[in-house]
Amino acid sequence: MTSKVTYLGDLRTENIHLKSGNRYLTDAPTDNKGKGEAFSPTDTVATGLANCMLTIMGIKANQMELSIKGTTAEVTKTMSAGPRRISKIKVVFDFPEGIDSKSQKILEHTANSCPVHYSLHPDIEKEVIFNW
């Protein structure tokens, strides 16, 4: 088992990663009857894409003896109705200076090959911007 999720009431869940004991909360967003005081479940999906891309690029960068430490990703999730779902995830990466163009192409390919990217439904538009 990977995690345990407990419904706390008021459209909030507590999520526990069983191996580490780390926890986080989710709330329904304000546009869907929630308080919006924490990540929504769909926020975690969209953010998970950026987490996965950064992690897999970090693995590749280590193999290439490069550092991408300090790289940031800004995530924007767009929802649609009928049925309510994620319709688009935009991820904008900002990297530290000094990464050559060949390494940039390798890291971009690596990011777009991450497991979460492949796991998301093909109807979800993914816009990924790499600012080198």
| CA quadruple 33, 38, 41, 45: dihedral sign | positive
**What pLDDT score was predicted for residue 84?**
93
Alpha-carbon span 34 to 31, nearest angstrom = 7
Check the CA dihedral 117-68-26-17 and report its sign. positive
Q: How many residues does the chain have?
A: 132
18-36 pLDDT, tens digit each: 999 999 999 999 989 999 9
Burial of 12 (0-12, 13-18, 19+ CB in 10 A): middle
Q: For the whole model, what pTM was predicted?
A: 0.94
Q: What are the structural domain ranges in the chain?
A: 1-39, 40-131
Structure tokens at 103: 């390494």
Q: What CATH superfamily classification does 40-131 receive?
A: K homology (KH) domain (3.30.300.20)
